[in-house]
Amino acid sequence: MTRVTASLYWILPVFVLGACVSVPEESTPTGSTAPSAHVRPSYNGAYARPLSDAPPANDLEKKARIHTELGMEYLGFGRSDIALDEAKMALKIQPGYTPAHHLIGMVYVELKQHGQAEAAFREALSSAPGDPDFNNSFGWFLCQRGRVSEALSHFATAAANPYYNHKTRPHTNAGNCLLGANDVAGAEIQFRSALQADPGNSEALFRLADVAYRRGNYRGAHDLLVQYHQRFEPSARSAWLGLCAARRLGERHSEASYMGQLRTRFPASPEYALMMQGKYQ
């Protein structure tokens, strides 16, 4: 999966783990009131299948789709300039081709041109307001801008589409967004919904362990991380959180095991640096 594919369909934020608590770098919203996890979707009309699942309607649309998909690939390799050119070519071939506007939005996100990114996302949504991929992407964009309530509405729209086969994605993104707003209870609801939609969602399982730790349920966090490591490859952040939970529980054998993982597998990670500095609290 390329980086842009992850951005479009499974937006996983970059987290820095500090003092045994993970905090989103860019998604922490301003304001003092954490929003509820229960929000109304931004769209309440009849849902259609995602445009990504629909075959091209004609030859022109087929050509526009080829350029758009090629642009996504270029964006995934960091070539925003070529990706933007491909999106513009798609619109030249098929004016109003909605996925091209979505791609343009993603390009401008990479370029940190937020006003133009929002305009492109809204252009795509004006033609396909119930499209789950578009709502998922725009939701994460809004979350990064601190507009959490709006973001949650778009995540809810994506999850509500009965034709969407990837409901775990907006639930996961909503959970991460709510964590950034310090709404731990709301985040837990979303992560559990994500796991219900896809039991193989490693991000949601890790985040449930994170939530348990934040709540002081160190045993619950420890047990969830054991489950996580039985099913998925360890990461620096999962080893660090496991180390913190084991230390809180006084389980020295587990603590030493996690320390060994950080030392041998992730010596260049920020988590290893925190361990060496003794910043566990």
pLDDT at 117: 97
Residue 29 has pLDDT above 50, yes or no: no
- One domain, residues 100 and 203: no
pLDDT band at residue 281, thresholds of 50, 70 and 90? low
* Total count of domains within the chain: 2
- One domain, residues 166 and 240: yes
Beta bridge partners of 21: 18
Does 77 map to a domain? yes
- One domain, residues 160 and 264: yes
Helix and strand element counts for the chain (H, E): 14, 2
- One domain, residues 94 and 176: no
Q: How far apart are CA 193 and CA 206, in angstroms?
A: 14
- One domain, residues 210 and 120: no
- One domain, residues 183 and 279: yes
Q: How far apart are CA 155 and CA 139, in angstroms?
A: 6
Residue 47 has pLDDT above 60, yes or no: yes
Does 36 map to a domain? no
Closest by CA to 136, choosing from 112, 160, 116, is 160
- One domain, residues 156 and 269: yes
Residue 237 has pLDDT above 80, yes or no: yes
Q: What three-state secondary structure class fits 18?
A: strand
Sequence-distant (≥ 6) Cβ neighbours of residue 76 within 8 angstroms: 2, 3, 4, 5
- One domain, residues 163 and 280: yes
Does 69 map to a domain? yes
- One domain, residues 178 and 96: no
Does 110 map to a domain? yes
Does 169 map to a domain? yes
Boundary of a domain, candidates 94, 129, 164: 129
- Of 225 and 14, more confident: 225
Q: What is the CATH number of the domain that holds 231?
A: 1.25.40.10
- One domain, residues 173 and 64: no
- CA atoms lying within 13 Å on the CB side of residue 152: 23
- One domain, residues 56 and 16: no
- Which residue segment(s) compose the domain that 56 sits in? 49-129
Residue 16 has pLDDT above 60, yes or no: no
Answer whether 145's CB lies under 8 Å from 114's CB. Answer: yes
Could you read off the pLDDT of 171-194 as tens digits, one per residue?
A: 999 999 999 999 999 999 999 999
Question: What does the mean pLDDT of the chain come to?
Answer: 88
Detail the DSSP E strand segments found in 57-109.
none
**Mean pLDDT of all residues in 93-97:** 96
Answer whether 156's CB lies under 8 Å from 42's CB. Answer: yes
- One domain, residues 19 and 158: yes
- Of 69 and 281, more confident: 69
Percentage with pLDDT > 70 across the chain: 86
Q: How far apart are CA 178 and CA 45, in angstroms?
A: 26
Does 122 map to a domain? yes
Q: How far is CA 124 from CA 9, 55, 117, 137, 140, in A?
A: 15, 18, 11, 11, 15
Residue 26 has pLDDT above 90, yes or no: no
Does 249 map to a domain? yes
Residue 202 has pLDDT above 90, yes or no: yes
Does 106 map to a domain? yes
